[in-house]
Amino acid sequence: MSTTPTIPEGYKADSLGRLVPVANIKPIDLERDTLVDSLVSQARFLNERLRAFRISAHDDIQALAELSAEKYGATLGGKKGNLTLTSYDGRYKVMRAISEQLVFDERLQAAKKLIDECITDWADGARPELRTLIDDAFQVNKQGRIDTARVLSLRRLEIEDPRWKSAMEAISDALQVSNTRSYIRVYERVGNTDRYQQINLDLANA
């Protein structure tokens, strides 16, 4: 287990880990170092506060949802589903949004092979737009992932070829949830209008 080395009094470690006497460091470099340390400390504090708020907000919203469900004899299974809570006077809204990241497993390769077989056999009668649509669907994005929405859009095509239907079934079976993220968004009504403005919790846009 690595530990942070103790820095002797009167010294500072530079970016290469070398100990430099404070007396030999330029005043502006010391001022910059002090400012950066101060801002990082404040950022860490805010980060912890935001993290605590997010966890607390999710727990409180879920507790309210379960309390409401109990009134009707229902039991909620897990923290799923988007919810919007509105204050009694309608001035504030709190939204819990659940976002699932979808990926495909190895069965997508089987689907692609079946689709390619179909396109090859239909070469004379297939429209060029269909080949372009399929090629676009299976292209990877900048992160090296296949766009799930594009692939799933192929299922809307009405094609009766049994291989195509098998390919669409393979696509459905290949779809997996890789992870789930949840978000809390808080809104305030703008004056007496029907418009709401988000209370920004993003430091970059605050």
Q: Give the pLDDT confidence of 50-68 residue by residue, as tens digits.
A: 999 999 999 999 888 888 8
| Poorest-pLDDT segment among 28-32, 47-51, 188-192, 198-202 | 198-202
Q: Which of 195, 202, 131, 115 is nearest to 163 (CA)?
A: 115
Of residues 98 and 74, more confidently modeled: 98
pLDDT recorded at residue 98: 84
For 9-34, write each residue's pLDDT tens digit: 999 999 998 999 999 999 999 999 99
Burial per residue of 189-203, b for 16 or more beta-carbon CB atoms within 10 angstroms, e otherwise: beeeeeebeeeeeee
60: tokens are 């409180």
Cα distances (angstroms) measured from residue 173 to each of 13, 103, 143: 55, 11, 23
8 A C-beta contact, residue 184 and residue 57? yes
Q: Are 82 and 95 in contact (CB under 8 A)?
A: yes
Measured at the CA of 133, the angle between CA 121 and CA 141, to 5 degrees, comes to 125
Task: List the domain boundaries for the chain.
Answer: 1-77, 80-206
Taking the complete model, does pTM exceed 0.85, yes or no? no
CA 106, 109, 115 angle in degrees (round to 5)? Answer: 150
Proportion of the chain above pLDDT 70, given as a percent: 89
Mean pLDDT for the stretch of residues 118-146:
76
Where would I find the H helices in the chain?
Answer: 27-70, 107-121, 128-137, 148-153, 162-174
Q: How confident is the model at residue 133 (pLDDT cuts 50, 70, 90)?
A: confident
